[in-house]
Structure 1
Amino acid sequence: MQDRSWTVLSLLDWGTEYFEQKEVRNPRFSIEWLLSHVLEVKRLDLYLLFERPLHSTELERLRPMVQRRGKHEPLQYITGRVDFFGIELSVASGVLIPRPETEELVEYILASHDNDAPKKLIDIGTGSGCIALAIKKERPNWEVWATDLSESALRVAQQNGKELGLQVHWFQDNLFAPELLRHHPELAHSCDILVSNPPYILNEEREALEREVREFEPEEALFCSSTHRMYSALVEHAKSLLLPHHSQMYFEVHEQYANEVQNISKDYGFTAEIRHDLAGKDRFVISTLTSTLSPS
């Protein structure tokens, strides 16, 4: 970005070409996202402002953002914000960026449970808090808990809850050595719903990921060593948290291993079904407990 007079249109055109040269994904969208953030307008409104000149202070804000995007850093980390299910969340390096597929998971939960009867829901591996906070906003009479291994992720989630004025009970915990019930024994066999979008990309798939995911998003939120180990731990944890009858688990899963997760759930007495995402991929396993929890 040389020192010259810039309008919205000239900067959009320049930014698109620059990002194309840097092989950045969605080059036009990228410059639109960054410029709309700096100008504090909606992205599509840029096209009503083609002749608007940019002030020097706006260019000073935009320049380092363009440089970061040119290195393939995710847009959400650069602006620090992301929209999720009608709420705006803060995100930062070290916190998984919420995906549209996870919004679909929230939609499945809400579609199955109206607002009449209070529920208790726990979100395992909450990250930015996106699932827990979206549920709490839509079902304010529900009691919502959320855990994560990452202290930095929980700080972001707590701040998001504070900014949105939504009360969620946060707890730092390790799925493979959980301490939640030791500190909150009242949660034992009390939850109606357990939801989780855990790390489900296998380590050997790392190099197949897009650069902006592989190089910038937290490994601990992306990768697992084994689908069976990850989801067995989740169901084991669920055994101690869910009500013994008519409770449910909602999992986001790797599209290639949905059957494996379904079978794990069935082994523990759940009826389990696979649901597609909007792209038609096997993305969710929804399990319902109709008998006392016990592995077969």
Structure 2
Amino acid sequence: MLTILEALKLSTDYLEKKGIESPRLNAELMLSDLLNCKRLDLYLSFERPLKENEVDKLRDWIARRGKNEPLQYILGKTDFFGLTFCTNSSVLIPRQETETLVEMIIEQNKSKGKIRILDIGTGSGNIAVALAIYLNDAEFTAIDSSNDAIVVAKQNAALHKVDSRIDFVTSDIFSTDFDNDCFDLIVSNPPYVSSGEYKTLQKEITEYEPTQAVTDMVDGYRFYSYITACARKWLKRSGRLYFEVGKDQYKKVVNYLYESKFENISTYKDLLHIERVVMGEKL
């Protein structure tokens, strides 16, 4: 029978040959999830033999990872802002840099009481759900053009017991309209990769993540310019617009907000010191 130690070694060697980054970590995460234990527990049970069904499932997972399928899709979950979110190939995998966006919104609006928030391009619902947990009196509308993504977002809202405060809507932002002056905050992490840059991304992204959630198929700014113009109408007075932006995009996005007469425009860096969040107020 294959032991845990043998399974880790064989899996690591296979993933390394396939060019997978951090092969040992990937093998440990898959095996610990399969056995429903912590990674540390693997090291305390090296000689434990795996059952036949466990070996079969691990082989399937390792083979999928070897073909560049993201670990988060294989396991069906990922961590974001200290929370667990369901994931599949219908949604963009939540990234650590987006935690900067969520953190800034919470910090700047935690004392505002009952507010209405619009999340544009909600995907897995990670932004809306995380905000709902920390902004207890906020009510949300979260839209996405993909109905499959909305299904996942609803699952995550239910998982974290905030589904009663988030209205999920399948809708393309370019054909969506809301009443004037109806939101206190608008937040979006839109597809901001340009068509040219998209061709250079790693296979985990281009072959598995939903294309429409990654790139706008033009210059990377299509959503920013349109959402900024809409936000000027939809936000209440003193309302705030928050964007996540790609590397070196902040200057042009700041200019969009300036041209739409937003004030108190600010930018915020992520943990890698990249300008990651742009915020403006409608005064």
Q: Shift in Å at residue 204 of structure 1? A: 0.3
Q: Shift in Å at residue 240 of structure 1? A: 2.8
Q: Shift in Å at residue 116 of structure 1? A: 5.5
Q: Which residue of 2 aligns with 1:132?
A: 128
Hey, what's the Cα distance between the residues in 2 that align with 1:216 and 1:158? 21
- TM-score of the superposition, structure 2-length normalised? 0.94
Q: Shift in Å at residue 115 of structure 1? A: 4.5
Q: SS of the counterpart of 2:62? A: helix
User: Which whole-Å deviations, capped at 9, do the CAs of 1:145-185 have from their partners, x for residues lacking one?
Assistant: 10001111001111221222212111111111214x3xxx4
Q: Which residue of 2 aligns with 1:69?
A: 65
- CA contact 2:34–2:54 (8 Å) conserved in 1: yes
User: Which whole-Å deviations, capped at 9, do the CAs of 1:13-60 have from their partners, x for residues lacking one?
Assistant: 211111010111221111111111100112333222222221112112
Gaps of 5+ in 1: 291-296
Of 156, 176, 186, the match for 2:174: 176
Of 231, 236, 244, the match for 2:224: 231
Q: Which moved more, 1:46-55 or 1:127-136?
A: 46-55
Of 210, 227, 232, the match for 1:218: 210
- CA contact 1:227–1:261 (8 Å) conserved in 2: no
Q: Which residue of 2 aligns with 1:90?
A: 86
CA distance 1:211–1:173, shift in 2 (3 Å):
same
1:190 correspondence with 2:186: no
Q: SS of the counterpart of 1:249? A: strand
Gaps of 5+ in 2: none
Question: Which amino acid letter does the alignment assign opposite residue 83 of structure 1?
Answer: D
Hey, what's the Cα distance between the residues in 2 that align with 1:128 and 1:261? 24
Q: SS of the counterpart of 1:195? A: strand
User: Which whole-Å deviations, capped at 9, do the CAs of 1:245-287 have from their partners, x for residues lacking one?
Assistant: 2111110111121100011011111132221110111211111
RMSD value over aligned CA atoms? Answer: 1.4
Give the total of aligned pairs.
279
Hey, what's the Cα distance between the residues in 2 that align with 1:152 and 1:250? 25
1:42 correspondence with 2:38: yes
Q: Percent identity?
A: 38
1:278 correspondence with 2:265: no
- CA contact 2:239–2:281 (8 Å) conserved in 1: yes
Q: Which moved more, 1:266-275 or 1:90-99?
A: 266-275
Q: SS of the counterpart of 1:208? A: coil
1:146 correspondence with 2:142: yes
- TM-score of the superposition, structure 1-length normalised? 0.90
Question: Which amino acid letter does the alignment assign opposite residue 219 of structure 1?
Answer: T
